[in-house]
Amino acid sequence: MTPDHSRSVPRRLRLGMVGGGPGGFIGAVHRIAARLDGRYELVAAALTSDAARSHAAAAELHVPRSYANFAEMAAGEAQRPDRIDAVAIVTPNNLHFAPAKAFLEAGIHVICDKPLTTTLSDARELAGIVQRTELIFGLTHNYTGYPMVRQAREMIRDGALGNIRVIQIEYAQDWLSTAVEATGQKQAVWRTDPARNGPAGALGDIGTHAFNIAAFVSGLACQEVAADLSSFVPGRRLDDNVNMLLRYEKNVRGMLWASQVAPGNDNHLALRVYGEKAGLAWCQERANELVFSPLGEPPRTIARNGAGSLAVAAHASRVPAGHPEGYLEGFTQLYTDLAEQIHARLEHRAPDSAALLVPGIDDGVAGMRFITAVLASSQNNSAWTAL
């Protein structure tokens, strides 16, 4: 039941990267994700905001073509016959928009970290460009790459829950429980800096993931939010705890909690969806399991690639049940599915439909609408605010 990831591998795509220099976290993750299934070769990069450091870092990583900055890279690659097939943008949030725009304008597919931008207007402008250029745009809401998340989505589409009633989402961490940004810790510094991170703290960093996965799995549009944001750590300029109520279409009710000040939580992303006929529960820290509870029957723990696991999960798996896959494999799946999309373009064919589940520009805009509405609601004493 595991797909043979060995078979019929087309040529490796040429990947560029903007951002991801030494000391970062997500750049290294993107590089592994590009490499794990053997679908990409990293051949070009503008790794930091400083040319000399970028070149040194590129040499260490054996990236053959190093550029001083993303603008030079977009221009330079556009002219090459062996130009990159896609670029990965892994910079802080305030530096997503400009490179994304530049590479799209250069005719190059984009893989961009989330949240899409720091303002809704930027997001909309980018969406217009994507629409106009018809290029592929992948947004790395990586948790949608987990096999059992995709299975949950499929089961709901197949009607296993009947009409949905309630959605409970939570994403809790503890790494910002103290003022680590004051210690110079690089991740904390930019993520708590409005200038680089945008106006949403925990909301943008993890709240958007939580919101996205709920929409991905449920297939429902959120219509309004009532939010109460806090900054618990003295001196912190952005929110570090997010409480909110949600109203989805079709009268579905939800709650979302995102926190980076909850001791004992490393990376606790959990989703529960309840319908007329059944409930589903998934937790990222137990990613290989999906608990399905049909009303009136005992809960069933479906293992990735085990009994009851669907083709959509097998598509996103590499090894049999009981051999856990994790964060990197989920992240990889987005890259691998985007590779299929890109190859299909190169070969003028329709992509494998299973490869189309990667979040894209619309999800990016939805995320920015979410952030905007939540901030407005919180500033308006938690009044219900339309997305």
Q: Which residues, numbered 268-297, are part of the site for a copy of itself (CB under 8 A)?
A: 268, 272, 274-279, 281, 284-288, 291-297
Residue 85 · residue 10 · CB < 8 Å: no
Stretch that binds a copy of itself, among 89-97, 195-203, 208-216, 241-249 (CB under 8 A): 241-249
Is residue 22 within the footprint of a copy of itself (CB under 8 A)?
yes
Cα 156–Cα 332–Cα 62 angle in degrees, nearest 5 = 170
Of residues 42 and 106, the one with the C-beta less far from a copy of itself: 42
Contacting a copy of itself (CB under 8 A), which of 69, 230, 354, 376?
230
Contacting a copy of itself within 320-359 (CB under 8 A): 320-329
Alpha carbon 108 to chain centroid distance?
Answer: 20
Nearest CA-CA partner of 135 in 78, 209, 81? 78
How far, CA to CA in Å, does 330 sit from each of 8, 141, 313?
A: 21, 10, 11
Residue 236: partners with Cβ closer than 8 Å, 6 or more residues away: 176, 179, 181, 192, 201
Nearer to a copy of itself, 199 or 384 (CB): 384
Q: Which residues contact 7 (CB under 8 A, 6 or more apart)?
A: none
Q: Write out the binding residues for a copy of itself, residues 147-176 only, by CB under 8 A.
A: 165-166, 168, 170, 173-174
Nearer to a copy of itself, 197 or 265 (CB): 265
Residue 369: CB minimum distance to a copy of itself, A: 20
Asked if 170 contacts 210 with a C-beta cutoff of 8 angstroms, the reply is: yes
Residue 295, both tokens: 């009303």
Evaluate whether 85 touches 63 at the Cβ level (below 8 Å).
Answer: no
* Residue with Cβ nearer a copy of itself (106 or 152): 152
Shortest Å distance, C-beta 346 to a copy of itself: 16
Closest contact distance (angstroms) between CB of 131 and a copy of itself is: 34
**To which residue do tokens 């997001």 refer?**
123
Neighbours of 380 (CB within 10 A): 12
Among 71, 120, 179, 253, binds a copy of itself (CB under 8 A): 253
Query: Rule CB under 8 A: is residue 121 a binding residue for a copy of itself?
Result: no
Using CB under 8 A as the binding rule, whether residue 255 contacts a copy of itself is answered as yes
Question: Nearer Cβ to a copy of itself, position 124 or 247?
Answer: 247
Rounded least distance, CB 208 to a copy of itself, Å? 17
Q: Which is nearer to a copy of itself, 94 or 317 (CB)?
A: 317
Write out the two tokens for 156. Answer: 């709901």
First to last CA, the chain: 41
Angle between helices 361-379 and 120-133 (to 10 degrees): 170
Which of 33-41, 130-138, 196-204, 344-352 is the region at the interface with a copy of itself (rule: CB under 8 A)?
33-41
Quick one: 268 or 345, whose CB is closer to a copy of itself? Answer: 268
- Beta bridge pairs of residue 259: 172, 241
Contact call for residue 299 and a copy of itself (CB under 8 A): yes
Asked if 287 contacts 303 with a C-beta cutoff of 8 angstroms, the reply is no
Closer to a copy of itself by Cβ: residue 121 or 251: 251
Does 249 interact with a copy of itself (rule: CB under 8 A)?
A: no
